[in-house]
Amino acid sequence: MSTLFKRIDTVFLQVNDFDGTIKWYCDVLGFTLRWKDDKGGYAALNIGETALTLVRSKTEPPKNANISFNFYTADIESAQQLLLQNNVNVGSINEDGQVKWFKFQDIEGNELEVCYFKE
């Protein structure tokens, strides 16, 4: 472990519909709001030790072809089913050795990924 850095504090994701996207992440994914700055256009969502910070964008945010981060789950099949039940655009579960993963899109069309591996 680095003696200089303790952890990754947050991951930033640009969005257009600031309030709608906050609501979606809380209602659909079960995140909770850590703090929100309407004037600055930032909102941090709790998801464990590292927050997800949504940033209001004044222009169309780029849709990354490369996924910048994964959400980890202990039960990938249940995670996929819960997203499907909430009408989320979800891909198939893939497996490569010890790792399973699937992709999904948030309300803004950002492509995200969920992974599982034995800890």
**Edge-to-edge strands of the sheet including 70-72?**
70-72, 111-116, 99-105, 94-96
The CB-side HSE value for 78 (13 A sphere, CA atoms) comes to 4
- What is the predicted pLDDT for the residue at 64? 62
- What is the predicted pLDDT for the residue at 61? 63
- What is the predicted pLDDT for the residue at 77? 98
Do 18 and 41 touch, CB atoms closer than 8 A?
A: yes
User: Tens of pLDDT along 21-71?
Assistant: 999 999 999 999 999 999 999 999 999 999 999 999 888 766 666 667 899
Q: Under the phi-then-psi rule, with left for phi > 0, alpha for psi from -120 to 50, and beta for the rest, what region is 28?
A: alpha
Please name each of the domains of the chain with its CATH number: 1-58 (3.10.180.10), 70-119 (3.10.180.10)
* Side chain identity at residue 75, one-letter code: D
- Retrieve residue 6's tokens: 């303790």
User: Tens of pLDDT along 59-108?
Assistant: 876 666 666 789 999 999 999 999 999 999 999 999 999 999 999 999 99
**Edge-to-edge strands of the sheet including 42-46?**
10-15, 51-56, 42-46, 32-37
Grouping H, G, I as helix, E, B as strand and the rest as coil, residue 39 is coil
Strand pairing partners for 54? Answer: 13, 43
- What is the predicted pLDDT for the residue at 67? 67
Separation of alpha carbons 28 and 2, rounded Å: 35
